[in-house]
Structure 1
């Protein structure tokens, strides 16, 4: 079956749902404290447990993903994702929610990896940059804009946002019926697993791409978790208002990510990644020193621009650099690294919050972003070749 625009759109929806697994709840967390009889630190675990679970199950998926058909993995992941979200809606205590969120990570693990892998199956060379950018825009929309949906749903009831995840159930039927299988016949005998994928990390280019994915998510989760708390402490913002602020930033992500195709053709991938990390780092540092509404809006837009450049370009790099026989395993490790970053961020920054306050959280996260910009610039010569092949 020919791979059409409608099929690519299905992969975009899958990516959107996958990223929404975490960020959909970000502005809702403050509203969950009272009904769950818990604290801000404990309710943040609803984000961390999902990221930890996703990191674990991406490694399990990595062992099989290059051996089996893509839809064999994708459809069960969509079903698990939707069912656990539905059950979360009916849960009324933290323990049950934490267990269900951990199980939901099984679905997220496949949903974040398969869209990029299937694009890599179909498109080659520089032809892959634009569709990868489209998938990354979907990741960005899911990461940044769905908090707006979650925030307003929480204004009706604190648990209503969980029903959003159940939309994956009817979508799984659509994928089963209409999405073609992309794994080529030439890979039918491929028995590569997690061992071979980790061996591929000895290539500095592959390792660098995976590590930068980890760093992007450390910075993303620093922003989506602590900006709503910053807005609530400074301006008494509700979850809905915080969601609007994050959605404004999401517009910057979408606009900038859509330009990555032309930017990487002109300047190559690593300079674009460098600029992205620099913008993200600078915006986070400056948030600590300009606690004014207009300044925060501008800095969120700056963060969105940097995130759009960094996230999209790192995804391009991670699809193009690995050998085809290990691409699925490397992309799974890439997803694991991202969610490991998302798991570590609230833990480390939570400790920073206790000792250095909210300002310290943003300064430390911003410095990390600037360091990553320097690293990306320093290794640019390792990526020789044209932009469409992860060029210099």
Structure 2
């Protein structure tokens, strides 16, 4: 059996009108918001947690590491299981595990126990983001798919910007209060079980046949190019932007951490506004073109950063960076959904999630080398070169 192109349900309406009111899409939004809850909502409480549990500062980051590690290792396995047994059979137990283990963290008063619970919560989180994107690929096609991907990126951007504020407010009452937020995953799991109406795999393939055909799909030159683009997005986001922009702001403008947080949130605002319009952009430009344009925005934004004389003007490159992410990220997801046969869609999206993790891991290391060689400004110039190189590879070596 050879892989065939993925198509949405034949009876799905193809006009974007009214999409935001679709019950299935609203449930997908809820899954995506739970998927990004596990890190951004709890990092504001880390200083208080470290004091309360007497954790050395160099060890506090383990709370993030043990949570994200299962996504890199288990993501493709869970994607395979979702392709074989159905999306809901993976999503429902994952959401329940996320909710139970995550909420239990609020009652832990030993750091080692907290790490164990975070690991279990991370196992629950491992499939959530990739399967939320998979569901969009299952349910929608054409303009509806592109628009839904954009809306989903907008929602997650709003969550990414909002969760630290909510977590910080809860942490002011006690370090453990932000860890109670994962209880919200339990009702979301029940919604998936009883209210989500999605097409599930109709037949299971022989394992050997499945793996052989999945490998054919994953070797597709265009899909490999999209994996590269996904990893590159996170190299630039977590390397140049998240890791080193705060340091540049603090060194250049001697401002407060609150102001630094506001500057970082400007990217989330730009992502949300741009990705909500990516469906309209897709009617004028192909997803491939939007991805190439997005890397142009990254390069321009990073080139401008070292030359901004004040915080107000620094909003120009941060906004440009967010615009790039807002058009590029949903376009990558849309193209992956279009190129992937439905019976392998969850596997492809989960492997793509693994490339997210690779980008998150390599970004700070690569930009750290640039910093060691030439100082803070060299980080952003290295980011420009990286963005240009990826754009060239994407255009000429991947034939997109």
- Whether the TM-score (by the shorter chain) exceeds 0.5 is yes
Matched, 1:54 2:54: no
Deviation at 1:93, TM superposition (A): 5.6
Classify the secondary structure of the residue corresponding to 2:84.
coil
Measured in 2, the distance between the counterparts of 1:28 and 1:357 equals 30
- Shift of the 79–334 alpha-carbon distance from structure 1 to 2, 3 Å rule, reads same
What per-residue deviation string (whole Å, max 9, x for no partner) do you get for residues 290-327 of structure 1? Answer: 37321333322121111111111111111111122211
Q: Please name the residue that 1:211 is paired with.
A: 228
Classify the secondary structure of the residue corresponding to 2:31.
helix
Q: Please name the residue that 1:251 is paired with.
A: 269
- Residue of 121, 136, 139 corresponding to 1:104: 121
More displaced, 165-174 or 220-229? Answer: 220-229
- Residue of 330, 339, 342 corresponding to 1:321: 339
- Residue of 258, 266, 291 corresponding to 2:284: 266
Deviation at 1:228, TM superposition (A): 4.5
- Residue of 161, 166, 170 corresponding to 2:178: 161
Whether contact under 8 Å (1:79, 1:107) holds in the other structure is: yes
Classify the secondary structure of the residue corresponding to 1:266.
coil
Q: Please name the residue that 1:307 is paired with.
A: 325
Matched, 1:178 2:201: no
Q: Please name the residue that 1:389 is paired with.
A: none
Measured in 1, the distance between the counterparts of 2:78 and 2:328 equals 25
Q: Please name the residue that 1:364 is paired with.
A: 382
Measured in 1, the distance between the counterparts of 2:179 and 2:387 equals 32
Measured in 1, the distance between the counterparts of 2:48 and 2:329 equals 29
Measured in 2, the distance between the counterparts of 1:339 and 1:139 equals 17
Normalised TM-score (structure 1): 0.83
Q: Which runs of 5+ in 1 are unaligned?
A: 384-392
Measured in 1, the distance between the counterparts of 2:157 and 2:282 equals 18
Whether contact under 8 Å (2:44, 2:168) holds in the other structure is: yes
- Shift of the 156–191 alpha-carbon distance from structure 1 to 2, 3 Å rule, reads farther
Classify the secondary structure of the residue corresponding to 1:267.
coil
Whether contact under 8 Å (1:46, 1:98) holds in the other structure is: yes
- Residue of 19, 23, 30 corresponding to 1:6: 23
Q: Please name the residue that 1:120 is paired with.
A: 137
More displaced, 228-237 or 78-87? Answer: 228-237
Q: Please name the residue that 1:71 is paired with.
A: 88
Whether contact under 8 Å (1:58, 1:110) holds in the other structure is: yes
Classify the secondary structure of the residue corresponding to 1:166.
helix
Whether contact under 8 Å (1:206, 1:321) holds in the other structure is: yes
- Shift of the 177–139 alpha-carbon distance from structure 1 to 2, 3 Å rule, reads same
Q: Please name the residue that 1:237 is paired with.
A: 256
Whether contact under 8 Å (1:52, 1:343) holds in the other structure is: no
What per-residue deviation string (whole Å, max 9, x for no partner) do you get for residues 77-117 of structure 1? Answer: 11122223223333456544443333322222211121222
Q: Which runs of 5+ in 2 are unaligned?
A: 1-10, 13-20
Measured in 2, the distance between the counterparts of 1:277 and 1:32 equals 38
Measured in 2, the distance between the counterparts of 1:296 and 1:360 equals 17
Q: Please name the residue that 1:17 is paired with.
A: 34
Measured in 2, the distance between the counterparts of 1:95 and 1:167 equals 24
Measured in 2, the distance between the counterparts of 1:88 and 1:292 equals 41
- Shift of the 172–158 alpha-carbon distance from structure 1 to 2, 3 Å rule, reads same
Cα-Cα RMSD? 3.0
Matched, 1:277 2:292: no
Deviation at 1:11, TM superposition (A): 0.2
Deviation at 1:31, TM superposition (A): 6.4
Q: Please name the residue that 2:8 is paired with.
A: none
Whether contact under 8 Å (2:79, 2:131) holds in the other structure is: no
Q: Please name the residue that 2:314 is paired with.
A: 296
Measured in 2, the distance between the counterparts of 1:277 and 1:338 equals 16
Deviation at 1:255, TM superposition (A): 1.0
Equivalenced residues, count = 377
Measured in 2, the distance between the counterparts of 1:168 and 1:111 equals 11
Deviation at 1:357, TM superposition (A): 4.9
- Shift of the 341–32 alpha-carbon distance from structure 1 to 2, 3 Å rule, reads farther
Measured in 2, the distance between the counterparts of 1:322 and 1:132 equals 16
Larger Rg: 2
Whether contact under 8 Å (1:287, 1:362) holds in the other structure is: yes
Deviation at 1:155, TM superposition (A): 4.2
Matched, 1:188 2:203: yes
What per-residue deviation string (whole Å, max 9, x for no partner) do you get for residues 179-235 of structure 1? Answer: 224215xx3234464553333122111111122112212222233344445555554
Whether contact under 8 Å (1:151, 1:242) holds in the other structure is: no
Classify the secondary structure of the residue corresponding to 1:66.
helix
Deviation at 1:73, TM superposition (A): 0.6
